[in-house]
Structure formats: C-alpha cells, structure tokens
Chain A
Amino acid sequence: MIQLIDVYKSFGQQKVLNGLNLEIEEGKTTVIIGRSGGGKSVLLKHIIGLLRPDRGQVLIDGVDITKLNDRDLNEIRKKFGMLFQEAALFDSMNVLDNVAFPLREHTVMAEKEIRQIVTDRLNAVGLKGVEYKMPSDLSGGMRKRVGLARAIALRPQIVLFDEPTTGLDPVMTEAINHLIMDTQKNFNLTCVVISHDLQSIFKIGHKIAMLYNGNIIECGTPEEITASTNPIMIQFLTGSIEGPIQVVED
C-alpha cells in the first residue's frame, strides 16, 4: 500500500503540494486527476522518490521512503515500474536492449532467459517482431507499449503511469486504456495513473482522486466521483469555464 501523509512541497515561492494526504490501495488502479500544471507529476515523483517532500511522509508498504539513503531507496524502487509521458526509452538502444535493461542490471539471468522474458513482455503489450528496431523508428503508441513492457520487465508490484494517453488519437487512446486494464489484471498490479483525459479515467480507474491546490479534495469510486456535489469536481468533470476553478490564475 502507498500512503502519503501531510506532504508539503514548494518550488521557490510556488506551493505545489500543500499538506496532501492520499492512500492508494493494493491491487487496484487509482487515477489522479487535476489541472494541467497542478502538481500531478510532482505527486507521482514523490511516490517513487524522485523528489523529496519539504515536510511529510511517503510510506511504501509501511516504509517511509523520504528518510532512506540512495541504496535503500534503490531497493524500494525495484518494486516499481513507471511509464513516462514520452516513454523515455533509451534512444541509444534498440527495443530488446531497452526492455532487457532492468533485467541485465538487477538479475544474473542468462542471456537466453532474458530474451525469453523480453519476448513475453512484448507479447503482453501486443508487440511482435520489433526487438531490433530503434525507438526513433516507432510510433508514439508503440513507444508507450515498449515503455510499458520495460516497466513490467522485473514483475513489479506497482506501476506508475504519467499521462499515458496524452497526445494519442482516440483509437490508440482506447487501445492503451485496454492495455493498462489488462496488464493490471494479468500481473495483479497496483497502478497509479495521472491523467486529465476524462473518458479514460472512468474506464480504467477503480478509484479516482482529484488534486486541486495541492490537496486531494475528493477520492472515491467512479460512481462516487460522478455523484459528487463539490462545485470544483462538477466544474472539472463538465469542463465548464464558469465556476471556482479560474481559467486565468491571479
């Protein structure tokens, strides 16, 4: 289980997380929604220890990762996989080497075994015969699939998705949504997805959490969120210009 307790984070004068509390259940998909530039990526980076909070705790299975040194943090990170917004594949390596990277770094498997796992993971994300292609030769959707294959290479317990459907066409968006749902189920993953793509979040999320002004203002099942009477929530879901969320901030 992932718990964020009273987390504060500022960059200069700008307060991004303001006493945030959030619990993420095991084996479920939690979607974090919120405005563009509202701190969703910052929140995600706190969960995996890429950023440390100014104050507060981030507990992964009961361990406060904000207090850990590099070596212990690396051990915790082996429980994680992450799919970056632009996939962040290593552009100097082909698909095979990209997916095999975590296996080669953290296991002592034979090369044959590694290749078998790479092929399995690529099949799991719907790719065949792309092992020797370079990332620059792949389309955006394929890159994300390879990124997901790399994220699940070591069979992590938790996978983080940073805006997985941003910049994709509707058909590819749907395909990636199904991929996230299938992968979550097949590998029994705890998934944390940040997104502001409303159609996607209700499909993939078991739980939805709304981040606003550095706090989680609503957290619940898709049904609970749709039924919410919070004016901020209603405005966000209807995409209205009128309401408490200001289009141009002061």
Chain B
Amino acid sequence: MGHYQPLLPDLILAMGATFILLLGPLRDSQNLRDFLRWISLGLVAATAATLVWVNHGMATPYPLVGEGWLTTAPLHTAFAVVFLATIAWTILASTVPDEDAGEWYSMLLFLGTGMIILARAANLAAVFLGLEVLSISLYILIAFRYSKRSSLRGGIMYLLLAGFASGFLLFGMALIYAVFGTLQIAEIRTLALATDMGPMAKVGFGLLLVGVGFKLAAVPFHMWTPEVYESSPGTVTGLIASSSKGAMLAAFIPFLFLLETHWSIIWLFAALSMVGGNLLGLREIRVKRILAYSSIAHIGYVLTGYLAGDTLSANAAFLPSITGVNAVFFYVVAYAASILGAFAALGYIQGERDLTLRDLRGVGRRNPVLAFCLLIFVWSLAGLPPAVGFFGKIYLFSAAINAGYFWLPLIGLLGSAIGIYYYLRIIVHLFMMPADASDPKVHASTLQEWVMLGSAVAVIALGLFPETIFSFLRAF
C-alpha cells in the first residue's frame, strides 16, 4: 500500500465522480442539486488535502511514483491544488438544471481528475491519458446544453480539433519513444541533455509542440477558440481558458530542456499570440469572443515566462529571485482567478443570443454587485494595478528579461497596451452607457453573487499581497 499511497488523491476524485453519478437518479428529493454540489465540493477538498498529505516531504526532483507514473515534485503538486481550486470554484459558481445536476458535477470531477493527472505526469503515456480524460470531460461539458445548436457545435468542433492535436502529440511521442527508447520523461530529459539530439528527436519534439500549441490555442493554431468559447456554458469557458491550459503548461515543465533546441518555436508562438490575440480582439463586439482573443494573448505572455526556464540567471537585473517557472505559476493563479469570474459573470448575463457589448449596457444599474465584480476581473485581465494580473505580467516579463530576452517582453508590453483598449470598452459599456429599451436580464443566485464577490476580493487582495502566492508555492 505504501508504494501506491501517492495515487490516493486521483482515486478519491475518480471514484467520487462515479459516486455522484450513482446519486444522480435520486431525483425525488427537492434539494438534490444542493446536496450533490456540497458532496462534490467535499470530494474536491478531500482530494486536495490528500494530495498535500501524501506528497508532504517527498521533495526530490521528479521522483517516480507508482512505477514511474506521477511526480510528487512540489511545483506540480501546487499546480494540481490550484486546478482543484478552480474546479471547486466552478462547482459553486455554475448554474445547472436540477435534473442534470448529477452528470454536471460528475463531469466536473472527471475534468479535475484529468487535470491533476496531467499536471503531475511523469510518463508520456500519463500525459496522453491525463489529457484525454480532461478533453473527453470537456467535450461533454461544452455540449452540455444539448438542446442548443451552438452548444453542440462547440462540442464537436472542440472534439475534432482536440483529436487532431492529439494525433500530432501522439506521433511526436512515438518518435521520441523511438529515439530514447523510454516513455519516462525524467529519463528522456537525462538522455536528451547528455547526448546531442538527433534530427528524429527534433522532429518528434516539434510535432509534440504543434499538438501543445493547438491545445494552448497559441497563435498559428488558435482558430477554434472564439467559436468554442462562445458556445460553452460560461463557467466551462473559464475552465477551458484557465486550468485546462494551465494543466498542459504544468505537464510540460519537465520538458524545459527543449529550450536548448526548440526555443524558436516557443518564441514564435509567444510573439504571434501576443500580437495576434490583441489585434483580433480590437474589432470584435461579442464580449465572450473578446475575452477569447484576449486569452490567446495571455497564452503569449505565459509562454514568454516559460522561455525564461527554471533556473535563476546570475546577472539578473529585475526581481532576481523569481524564475520563469515560478512566474508562470503566479500567472496561472492570477489569470485563473480573473478569467473564471469574468466568464462566469458573462454566463449569468448571457441570454438566448450571443452577448454583445451593447447587451452589457445597464447591467451596472441592474445588478451593481455583479457589474462591480466584472469590472475588477476585467481590470485584472488588462493588467492594471492594483489587481493581481498586473504583478503577473511584471513577474513574467522581468523573468524573461533576466533570461536575456529583450524583444519578447517589449512585444508583450505593446500587446498589453493595445489590449487595454478592448478591456476598457467592456467597462465603459458596463457602466457609462445608457441602457437600451430592454433591460438586461441577470440570473445569479445569492450563492453565486457571494462567490463572485469573494473572488473579486481575492483578485484585489492577491494584487496587494502578491508574495502570498509565492509563499503558497514554497509551502509544498
């Protein structure tokens, strides 16, 4: 048992998801939905607690667990806990019809299972499996409102594109397996660093990066983003944008040795995403699509930090104590806190049609609490002080500068400056424009308003005390 103890968190979550499904048919009870919600929340909390407990004190770099399946490295554990927190947040914030509550919460838990496997994968097969658990739950969550055409379309589109990406990822993995003869990421890393990588390995890693680029929606591969984001339920959109991408980023931290050979691909992804995402957002009037384009730009910022790697540079000029990977961790937390709330708020406002900027008019008067929260989230996404997004960008760009990149942070700054325009446009429409004849409808329960308010406070508080996130990371 001791040997398999580190697998406990994943088992709790997966079994819990199944258990929730079994409770689903008990539809007689009026309060079943609330009951299921609290049970799911408890399961996520239990998983997080077990995760921290079993990994406590196992601090050697990339140790192998369960015969080489998952890593217990602190950074990966911290990532997994953050993703569990986003799932917990979504469980609280999502609106779901009574009769479908069982399926909804259980799919969210399956999604969480995929995320924590992917975030801690130590084996290429684990990367693939975690990614597929994550993706399959996402297909279903995206298409969850099956009576709406756009919802089904979003689901099938994401499915086909994710399948395409998996094909690239898998072919790349097969070539890597061919060259190194192993699926263990740690071993591949040792071998790749010890020897000069042959052309085959380079192609393998290149195909792998193409697959990753699709999943992250980095710019040459971003086409699916607006459509899928628009058609998913608001809270699910938030998860696609934040933790499903974050899990991918966490899974590829052990691959940072690729910076020796493939940095130009990542550089290109980052630069194109920062420019493309922000420019595409300028002319859009549908709010969810604006945020979809902005999420492309944000992936560009994150990749900038990624390029800085996980070592501290000796002649660092700015904030020398923060490595690129730590900055990425900070940013994933900051971005998740802001984007989850923003998309959830738009989900509450969204009616039958796609939500345009015009539909936001009057929301500030109709539901000031929600509008105020949305303001804070958008403020943070724009990277303006004192919200947490501001420090996220500072850390990313300074880490990149310390690592010797000059143009990338510059492009990032220019991109953010462009981006501020469309973020402010959202705020202006929210508060300063007179409402149209029809009042906007906002469907948010008291619980949901409290959750939104809580995360708005968190966005500001984390911005005022950014050290908290790093001390959280150090606690693992």
| A and B: bona fide binding partners | no
